[in-house]
Amino acid sequence: MQTDSLLKRNGLSVTESRKKILQLFLEGSGALAHGDIEKKAGEKFDRVTVYRTLQTFVDKGIIHTIPSADNSIRYALCKDECSEGHHHDHHIHFECSICHTTYCLDDVVTPQINLPKGYVAGHVEVVVEGVCKNCK
Amino acid sequence: MQTDSLLKRNGLSVTESRKKILQLFLEGSGALAHGDIEKKAGEKFDRVTVYRTLQTFVDKGIIHTIPSADNSIRYALCKDECSEGHHHDHHIHFECSICHTTYCLDDVVTPQINLPKGYVAGHVEVVVEGVCKNCK
DNA sequence: GTAACTGCAAAATATTTGCATCCTT
DNA sequence: AAGGATGCAAATATTTTGCAGTTAC
């Protein structure tokens, strides 16, 4: 199973909740918020387990957070280059204003930004809001 | 007073809390989170008033939100072109990873993003994380 | 004087922590 | 068997809502 190997590769024990939550990310196209996961997972897991599992996955570099302006952080699978402590996330994110799906556009690289004198750029986050291909 | 005219211009009555909160934005260089405002305003205002005032300012286009990846939205003053319902926010945001100040870099325009076929871009948000001029 | 704004209380929601139990390795 | 993961209970923290009293215009 894809979930099992992904977990093992990251030194995590293979448990029901981790498999299920990882499965949700693998089968869906969009990013998921904490609430989405609770809903999709049904009543199977404790709310606390979802919090802890998401945090574990972020720590291990399996998923990453997508910034938002509405206090509801979404999470999405990292690509393979991500590893613990070193998250290489050079793609942009797209939020559909109609269906509210958030996508990782892995093929669109974050642009170079020219900062004013004195500022040193590290990581660049780009979130584009608009209409996705399904809602057009 | 600058605060008074800014409030009047937006059709808001001039009250102590609105003046005080607006003042905090005008005198500070960085963006403010809800918690920052509570702290800086001292014990003067009820927590609920801060929530409502921020929401009112956002609705009127006086301030705008800055997305974040840590569930703590920050707010910053809009430039003059912003108006109710129509927020024109073409600048990028910068978060210092040392002092954790968030700046609006008004002179840095958001780049053009080439989206995959089928996606229609609306608003583009760019948040750069790095080291600011004061912390270098 | 009237409409809008504020503070207080309380409800609703979200997140974190401790601990005993259960599961994975 | 041992360490880690989970569920439950409860502590915290955050945000929203209703309402009565106060303030701005």
The CATH number assigned to the domain holding A82 equals 1.10.10.10
Q: Supply the pLDDT for residue B50.
A: 97
User: Which residue in A92, A24, A35, A36 sits closest to A62, CA to CA?
Assistant: A24
Which B residues 47-76 touch A at CB under 8 Å?
Answer: 65-71, 73
Determine, yes or no, domain membership for B33: yes
Determine, yes or no, domain membership for A34: yes
Chain B: give the shortest CA distance to residue A92, in Å. 9
Q: What percent of chain B has pLDDT over 90?
A: 71
CB-based contact B130 A115, cutoff 8 Å: yes
As given in the structure block, the two tokens for residue B115 are 């989206």
List the single protein residue with the shortest CA to C1' distance from D13: B35
Kindly identify which residue of chain B lies nearest to residue A106, measuring between CA atoms: B116
Domain that holds residue A27: 3-130
Kindly identify which residue of chain B lies nearest to residue A122, measuring between CA atoms: B130
Is the confidence at residue B130, as pLDDT, over 80? yes
Which of A67, A94, A112 shows the shortest C-beta gap to B68?
A67
B86 touches chain A (CB under 8 A): no
**Secondary-structure percent of chain B, ordered helix, strand, coil, rounded to 5:** 30, 30, 40
Determine, yes or no, domain membership for A136: no
Please give the average per-residue pLDDT across A59-73, as a whole number: 92
Q: Supply the pLDDT for residue B106.
A: 87
Counting the structural domains of chain B, the total is 1
pLDDT in tens, A111-135: 889 999 999 999 999 999 999 999 9
Which of A122, A125, A130 shows the shortest C-beta gap to B122?
A130
Determine, yes or no, domain membership for A79: yes
Determine, yes or no, domain membership for B75: yes
For B93, the enclosing helix (H) or strand (E) is strand B91-96
Task: Output the pTM of the full model.
Answer: 0.88
Determine, yes or no, domain membership for B135: no
Q: Supply the pLDDT for residue B82.
A: 55
Determine, yes or no, domain membership for A135: no
pLDDT in tens, B98-108: 999 999 998 89
Please give the average per-residue pLDDT across A13-40, as a whole number: 94
Determine, yes or no, domain membership for B12: yes
> Higher confidence at residue A74 or residue A83?
A74
